[in-house]
Amino acid sequence: MSHLGARTAVSVLRRDLPLHSALLPAVDDVVAVEQPSEPLHALRPAAVVQASRAFVNGFDGDVLYAVKCNPDPSLLRAVWDGGVRHFDCASPNEVALVRGLFPRAAIHFMHPVKSRQAIREAWERFGVRDFVLDSASELAKILQETGNDVIPAPERGLGLVVRIALPKGEALLDLSGKFGAPLDEAAALLRAARPFAARLGVSFHVGSQCMDPTAWSRAMELAGAAIRASGMRVDIVDVGGGFPVAYPDLTPPPMGTYFAEIERSFESLGLPAGTRLWAEPGRALVAGGASVVVQVQMRRGTSLYINDGVYGSLSDAGALGFRYPVRRMRPQAPASDASLAAFSFFGPTCDSADVMHGPFLLPDDIEEGDWIEIGQLGAYGACLRTSFNGFDRTHTVEVRDPPLLQGVAPVAPATVAPELLAA
Ligand SMILES: *Cc1c(COP(=O)(O)O)cnc(C)c1O
């Protein structure tokens, strides 16, 4: 099939613009024809367009897509098609990729620790104007490498965003401790940056897959405290990413709850009119945008040996224990009425850490040769693949199917796993 392309974990090949979704094949048909013995990545650009549009329409500020979550060009185009015009990049490669695809995009360099070369190239060659920092030495680096260190010249358009540290929170992936300036230091950085900045901002990141909307309002209060302590006018409050999606047995409150909490707490800071909100969603825009079809190579009891694993696109199913939606695919055989049973997966490498406990509910009669479609892998799936042990070959196809798990309904009642809400 002409729309299939092989590629390795690290190379990003440009493919043609996604066909109109209705013209794309269904994933079952692709599996029936191709009988893939290597992992098949089934991209759903329409789901990404939809999730991006919903976020852009619902969030009262600028939406920066966090590119690290999924840098696949066809999903980046889907994010753009959904109305996103700002991109949160963290490396020179991400900056170059986004600039190559979208000459008019606003690119924000949101890694608090950058090489001098990366800063210089981003500023001079790729037109990046906004940089995040959480230390005085990073501020000095940015000012020097963008030629803004001698005379303050805000008219050159430099945007500086100070990332504040957050206490340990309740995100599934807690990122406190690595980045962020403590309150006093953040205030000092805001004062030091103000004369050089066309735009001055405060940012935070509550961690990924954060189930509790009040994590944002608590972080907002800290941002407010840093701004007050600095005595400076601030133009931007950037609330970061971390917006959650549904996984089996994990249904976050509707996205509107998060937006309302952010807006309410932002209003209560009483900042001057014109202060803008930014958000940096990754997972929330792209999780439904890809599944991976794997093949069972052996069954041993309730363990399935499959051809993808924690060194491939199932990294978060390993140590982090993410459970993804699954369905068995058996294109040639009549439907079976076997009941569901709980299975764990072993990945293809020889490392005993290449195990995914799940449990994953699949038909009891699953056997060697069957395929399994694993959903919600548009976020932190393919981008985490390695070539360890030589298992780096996959195929990629765009399909018209909806995601295996539909996203969070905009107004559905909240059901949150209690252990995830406990502080
Ligand atoms: C990873 C990251 C994001 C995106 O996080 P999601 O959980 O995918 O929404 C946003 N901002 C920063 C600073 C990040 O490191």
- pLDDT digit string (tens) for the chain, length 423 residues: 334 444 444 334 444 444 467 789 999 999 999 999 999 999 999 999 999 999 999 999 999 999 999 999 999 999 999 999 999 999 999 999 999 999 999 999 999 999 999 999 999 999 999 999 999 999 999 999 999 988 888 888 999 999 999 987 655 565 567 899 999 999 999 999 999 999 999 999 999 999 999 999 999 999 999 999 999 999 999 999 999 999 998 999 999 999 999 999 999 999 999 999 999 999 999 999 999 999 999 999 999 999 999 999 999 999 999 999 999 999 988 888 899 999 999 999 999 999 999 999 999 999 999 999 999 999 999 999 999 999 989 999 999 999 998 754 433 333 333 333 333
The CATH code of domain 5-44+287-421 reads 2.40.37.10
- The 3-state secondary structure of 286-305 reads HHHHEEEEEEEEEEECCEEE
Of the candidates 397, 419, 422, the one whose C-alpha atom is nearest the C-alpha of residue 36 is 397
Contact 254, 261 (CB under 8 A): no
Distance 364 CA to ligand 1 centre (A): 38
Delimit the domains of the chain by residue range: 5-44+287-421, 111-279
Counting from 1 in the atom list of ligand 1, the atom nearest the Cα of 68 is 1
Beta bridge partners of 163: 203
The residue to which tokens 């999780």 are assigned: 287
Distance 391 CA to ligand 1 centre (A): 27
Q: Which residues lie below 8 Å from residue 105, measured CB to CB, with a gap of 6+? A: 80, 85, 86, 87, 98, 99
CA angle 394, 397, 403 (to 5 degrees): 105
Of the candidates 156, 173, 155, the one whose C-alpha atom is nearest the C-alpha of residue 69 is 173
CATH fold of 111-279: TIM Barrel (3.20.20)
Ligand 1: residue whose CA is nearest its atom 3: 241
CA angle 120, 136, 107 (to 5 degrees): 40
Give how far the C-alpha of residue 236 lies from the chain's centroid of Cα atoms, to the nearest Å: 22
Residues within a 6 A CB radius of ligand 1: 66, 68-69, 88, 110, 205, 208, 240-243, 280-284
Catalytic hit among 69, 89, 350, 383: 350
Fold matches, 5-44+287-421 and 111-279: no
Q: How many residues does the chain have?
A: 423
Catalytic residue list contains 350: yes
Distance 342 CA to ligand 1 centre (A): 32
